Amino acid sequence: MENTRVAIIDNDMGNMFSVKNALEKVGLAVEITKDRGHIMKADALVLPGVGAFGSAMKHLNEHGLVETIKAFVETGKPFIGICLGLQLLFEESEEFGNSPGLALIKGRVVRFPQHVNQEEIKVPQIAWNKIMKGNMEWERTVLKNITAGEYMYFVHSYYVVPNDEKVILTKTSYEGIEYCSAIQQNNIVAFQFHPEKSGLKGLEIYENIKEWIIRSKEGK
């Protein structure tokens, strides 16, 4: 797999190195980079991230990465978003007012409410939580061999609301709120949870991602 290259967007935020370690563990060659040339030559691109939506978009804009990401997605090669990297794909976030996103997926990002049924809830959600099937069969996705109800690791205060429910790959419930926790649209797959922090099952997802990248590279 050494000639199968994955680029990780260097966004100076959070979980880049844990994602790199997970991808290398399944046998892929990985580079963390801001360089457009290196990104466009890669066989797959990963947008990770934790932290504030607005700050992340500011960083992407300052380094010319918004157009690079959009150009890469247009190639049809696999694109993977993780945690904040899922949220950034959407049109806007209500974090600190309305912040525009990459607008690759139609919809918006909203905050968990402070109260549910007049009871205060803990935000952010920092917990292992179940992923359930959304609106597509997992057997044809990077979640093949993953069982509905499997626990994954989450850390977030905001969640995505896609306009088109058909893109919802997984759903998760927190404090009685059911929300979209992963999406798939064409060559884009993105997770609110952290597969790289979710034990052996999370690593299985990375194995499936590797297979997807290799199939895409071979034109299958």
CA distances from 105 to 16, 77, 143, 219 (A): 22, 16, 20, 24
DSSP-derived secondary structure for 199-210: HHHHHHHHHHHH
Tokens of 147: 């069982």
By annotation, the residues acting in catalysis are 83, 194, 196
CA distances from 85 to 29, 136, 167, 190 (A): 20, 21, 16, 7
Give the span between the Cα atoms of 92 and 148, in whole angstroms. Answer: 29
Q: Are 59 and 167 in contact (CB under 8 A)?
A: no
pLDDT of residue 2: 58
Confidence grade of residue 15 (pLDDT, cut at 50, 70, 90): confident
Record the pTM.
Answer: 0.95
* 3-class DSSP state of 159: strand
pLDDT tens-digit map of 90-143:
999 998 778 999 999 999 999 999 888 888 999 999 999 999 999 999 999 999
- Environment class of 175 (CB within 10 Å of its CB; exposed 0-12, middle 13-18, buried 19+): middle
pLDDT tens-digit map of 156-207:
999 999 999 999 999 999 999 999 999 999 999 999 999 999 999 999 999 9
Tokens of 103: 């607008």
Torsion of CA 20, 26, 188, 128, to 10 degrees: -80
For the chain, give percent helix, strand, coil, nearest 5.
Answer: 30, 35, 35
Q: Are 90 and 107 in contact (CB under 8 A)?
A: yes
Alpha-helical runs (H) found in 1-83: 16-25, 36-41, 53-62, 65-74
CA distances from 113 to 61, 125, 133, 167, 211 (A): 29, 11, 24, 24, 38
